[in-house]
Structure 1
Amino acid sequence: MNRRLYRGLREAILEGAIAADTRLPASRDLAAELGIARNTVVHVYSQLLAEGYTRSRQGNGTFVNASLPDSFLSSGRRARLAAAPQPRPALSPRGAAIVDGASASPYQWGAFMPGVPDLTEFPHRKFGRIVSALWRNPPPDLLTYAHGGGLPALREALAQHLALTRSIDCDPEQIIITEGSHQAIDLASRILGDPGEVAWVEDPGYWGARTVLQANGLRIRHLPVDEEGMQVPQEAGGEPPRFIFVTPSHQYPLGPVMSLARRRQLLAVARRHGSWIIEDDYDSEFRFSGRPIASLLGLEPDAPVIYMGTFSKTLYPGLRVGYLVLPRPLVAAFQAAHAELYREGHQMTHAALAAFIADGHYAAHIRRMRMLYGRRRAMLVNLIERRLGADWLHRDASLAGLHLVLTLPPDMDDLRVVEEARARGVLTRPLSRYYADPALRRPGLLLGFACVPEQDIARKFEVLLDSLAEVARKPARAARA
């Protein structure tokens, strides 16, 4: 009742039905007339007074103000509308480069979006029980700022998990918990690199790594990829790299696994030039045949490698939890810089995730999803080979990861295919956008299969085939016209 009375009086004042300087009825009288409690009227009068619609005179009652708060709002709005159009604020060259080259998609869920796990299969109840138990009596020290690179319990659980699954022998103190891979790259490049230094990256490669490295002032040298991974030059060919960013266990986006010979060559080059290798191990948990590929970090003692992982593919991207495994001499500096730059927190999430791993739920979830994704991958491969032919699968596709690369004819515009498919309700990513060197650029589509239920794969693939046929029917010149 008090809300209805408040709205009625406020609208009457704004519309002029109750004129300025009008004395409102006494609260007792209005309550008796409306048949409501006097406290209701008193509460409404107090609200109108607090918001500036009325004024009160001691012993004389409540009066409507001549100047109403809404008039200030509307006059300000009219003034803004009448003002001359303002030029777009000038961005810094660095800011303009970030915005103009942005590749993050506003579409993040649905067939065949790459890099996204099946969020419906996450064990929400198990994780929810852990979270609920923590929040019933949260320790105060988990609700304030953190310092030291993440909750010790989570770093301990991660160290044990990495020792079992990735042959990484590290102490928990060597692990820094980050808010995803972008923050991890940002931290490493800020602490170990200076503007103007060189970073080697794969071409094609992950656009997010390029963006963060360039935003921190590093000059990018793009190195092509073959069936053994990044083609590592024996000599720097100019200024030696400060960083070498690679995805050796499952090259992103093409898929080859870096050979052992290439891995040893890469480590030797890094040692010779005093470079740091940033090893992005973004989805190594999902191999569907053979033994897991050893990490670069675990290949040689004291390797000049900063290992980077994430829970975005194994659990869900919105969790925003990643991690770095550092050589021991870097630990103290990274811990201090992480706290200084990002003001750590989210320790309740860290505590829940630590318990989830320690209780065996994480390993069980990965095993279950590996089987599920393996079936979905096999279904998609079968459809591609049956409907298009085996040559449409990229030659470097490995039995790993959460996406496949569909190659397209050289004269087909993969950007148009993506737009056509999106208009029909199917999502994918254009391979050409992952290349930096136009001479290397090839058209193709990244097809994520993890988030597509088995019963939808064939139907969604037919939609994609229709999109390909539509683009093939319309030459690019005619379409632009």
Structure 2
Amino acid sequence: MKSISGDLIAPRLARLRQEKTAVAVNRLLYECLRDAIHDGSLPAGTRLPPTRDLAAEAGISRNTVMHAYEQLIAEGYTRGLTGSGTYVAERIPDLPPLKPGNPAVAPAGKSVAGRLSRRGRKVVMGAQAQATQWGAFLPGVPDVTQVPHAKLAQITARLSRELPPSTLSYATNGGYARLHQSLAVYLRQARSVVCEPGQIVVTEGVHQAIDLITRVLGDAGDHAWVEEPGYWGTRSILEINGIRLKPMPVDAEGMRFPIQATARPPRFAFVTPSHQYPLGPVMSLSRRLDLLNFAAQHGTWVVEDDYDSEFRFSGHPVASLQGLLPGAPVIYVGTFSKTLYPGLRMAYMVVPAPFAAAFRTAQSKLYRGGHMLQQAALAEFMDSGQYAAHIRRMRLIYAARRAYLIQLVEQSLGPGWVHEYDSNAGLHLVLALPPGTDDVAIAAEAAARGVIARPLSIYYFGRNPSPGLILAFASVPQEEMLAPWQVVARCILEAVAKKR
């Protein structure tokens, strides 16, 4: 019977034998196995195929395989267990450096970045995604330990025994129909979104939703208004798709923009009106109406990113922009990343009814969606009332954590450090630092001491950023918050003292 490892090794060995006809086969097999271990194809603890089996699969002698295995053991790549087999070692040696004359992967004098396409360089250069995705005070992450995983698992396990084969194939209709219905009910009740199930398209995260919107409705060279400061992910996707960005400043009423005709009206306006990211103001009603009227007059698409509106801790809930003016050119984007967990990779958008079919077709052609089982489980979770109950419970938890963090800030630094546009909502705070403070250096120092504090200045597109720190409290229990906060406070005080 063929082995998984053998299926991996045999084709690689065949290619090497064609490329290096003068090299002994046992050496080629050794190199093939060594490289597969280094690139992770054969991870630590993997059991290599028995010598007899691999010899048969690769069409070589058993002695050849034995010689290669012995060399791997001698160099520390594998370990042999009597009566059990040969396994990839937990710790493996580094590859030897290239000898003079050996061909390098990149031509001499050219860096890897220099060989990327212009689009590729835009993707990888200046990337802002944090390598660590958990801990104090990482923005954008809810408390994933509080998610009712057991209940979701029970629903998923039961549905997995009942689903028809069609739900295990590609999604071609913008997602699972019952989830469309569940979302339509929830959005009408909780967010005042005016929609029918047929207007909803489920996507793999907000990034895919934004990418799909710009591909379906925009062309390279089109302009987009974006908030200044604003979410780096939106800007990255727009730039990759050739959309020209026009940063629009944010004040206490949200994004500022001209209400009269402009020489070239933007194709898009990307806004976070219910809780501006990252500063926190709520877009005023008058400004919302101005934006909708401008969009209707000038053919501008308004993309409403409603990323964490469920978590408002005082006052009345802020209704969506989408539901204010019937027929307005608004695409509403929401996500489960903040209410449940980011690894679910599930978001959704509500598009005007005449465009729904085009979006479903484009999504199927570009991304070949799936995850229908997870969507079915989520629909049942929502219909049972457990989703709304989870949000209510987390709202209380996050409100307490937010209040405690503000208390710590005021005890250490005094009043007036929380940004003036804060609106008592969301999953993070913004601290406003004195003008001229190097917030990037403070964040780097905090990171060196084991705490994440994102600098506000990197969220600006223009040349005059305001310094500050973004501190997310959602994933930090109150009893664990003091120690990391003390690290951040020391870094701030040390930086301010140096500045003086």
- TM (normalized to structure 1)? 0.84
Superposition deviation, residue 423 in structure 1: 1.6
The DSSP-based 3-state class of the residue aligned with 1:130 is helix
Contact 2:51 2:66 in 1 (8 A): no
The one-letter code of the counterpart of 2:178 is A
Q: Does 1:415 align with 2:440?
A: yes
Aligned-residue RMSD, C-alpha: 2.4
Number of residue-to-residue matches in the alignment: 425
Could you give the per-residue CA deviations for residues 215-261 of structure 1, whole angstroms, max 9, x where no partner exists? 11111101000000000212354311000000000000000000000
Contact 2:55 2:65 in 1 (8 A): no
Q: Segments of 4+ in structure 1 off by > 4 A?
A: 65-74, 77-81, 473-476
The one-letter code of the counterpart of 1:83 is P
* Corresponding position of 1:296: 321
* Corresponding position of 1:449: 473
The one-letter code of the counterpart of 1:444 is G
* Corresponding position of 1:360: 385
Aligned mates of 1:371, 1:250 — CA distance in 2: 18
Matches within 5 A, 1:42-57: 45-52=52-59, 54=61
Aligned mates of 1:405, 1:65 — CA distance in 2: 63
Which moves more between the two structures, 339-348 or 86-95? 86-95
Matches within 5 A, 1:119-130: 119-130=144-155
Could you give the per-residue CA deviations for residues 361-392 of structure 1, whole angstroms, max 9, x where no partner exists? 10000000000000001111112122212211
Aligned mates of 2:65, 2:387 — CA distance in 1: 65
The one-letter code of the counterpart of 1:105 is Q
1:202 equivalent among 220, 227, 235:
227
The one-letter code of the counterpart of 1:332 is A
Could you give the per-residue CA deviations for residues 37-59 of structure 1, whole angstroms, max 9, x where no partner exists? xxxxxx8634444345526xxxx
Who wins on radius of gyration, i.e. which is larger? Answer: 1
The one-letter code of the counterpart of 2:477 is P
The DSSP-based 3-state class of the residue aligned with 2:267 is strand
Contact 1:51 1:69 in 2 (8 A): no
The DSSP-based 3-state class of the residue aligned with 1:250 is coil
Contact 2:331 2:351 in 1 (8 A): yes
Evaluate the alpha carbon distance shift between residue 352 and residue 66 of structure 1 in structure 2; reply closer, same or farther with a 3 A threshold. closer
Aligned mates of 2:144, 2:306 — CA distance in 1: 20
Aligned mates of 2:193, 2:322 — CA distance in 1: 7
* Corresponding position of 1:435: 460
The one-letter code of the counterpart of 2:277 is Y
* Corresponding position of 2:44: none
Aligned mates of 2:458, 2:163 — CA distance in 1: 45
* Corresponding position of 2:215: 190
- TM (normalized to structure 2)? 0.81
Aligned mates of 2:455, 2:497 — CA distance in 1: 19
Q: Does 1:108 align with 2:133?
A: yes
Evaluate the alpha carbon distance shift between residue 84 and residue 208 of structure 1 in structure 2; reply closer, same or farther with a 3 A threshold. closer
1:220 equivalent among 245, 249, 253:
245
Superposition deviation, residue 83 in structure 1: 2.0
Contact 1:53 1:68 in 2 (8 A): no
Superposition deviation, residue 139 in structure 1: 2.3
Aligned mates of 2:296, 2:354 — CA distance in 1: 16
Aligned mates of 2:115, 2:70 — CA distance in 1: 33
The one-letter code of the counterpart of 1:367 is R
Aligned mates of 1:66, 1:248 — CA distance in 2: 64
Q: Does 1:471 align with 2:495?
A: yes
Unmatched tracts of structure 2, length 5 or more: 1-25, 27-49, 76-94
Superposition deviation, residue 135 in structure 1: 2.2
Superposition deviation, residue 69 in structure 1: 6.6
Evaluate the alpha carbon distance shift between residue 47 and residue 150 of structure 1 in structure 2; reply closer, same or farther with a 3 A threshold. same
Aligned mates of 1:95, 1:220 — CA distance in 2: 19
Evaluate the alpha carbon distance shift between residue 65 and residue 102 of structure 1 in structure 2; reply closer, same or farther with a 3 A threshold. closer
* Corresponding position of 2:159: 134
The one-letter code of the counterpart of 1:50 is E
Aligned mates of 2:443, 2:120 — CA distance in 1: 27
Unmatched tracts of structure 1, length 5 or more: 1-19, 21-42, 56-63, 477-481
Aligned mates of 1:232, 1:475 — CA distance in 2: 35
The DSSP-based 3-state class of the residue aligned with 2:430 is strand
The DSSP-based 3-state class of the residue aligned with 2:403 is helix
User: Among the aligned pairs, what percent are the same residue?
Assistant: 52
1:319 equivalent among 332, 344, 347:
344
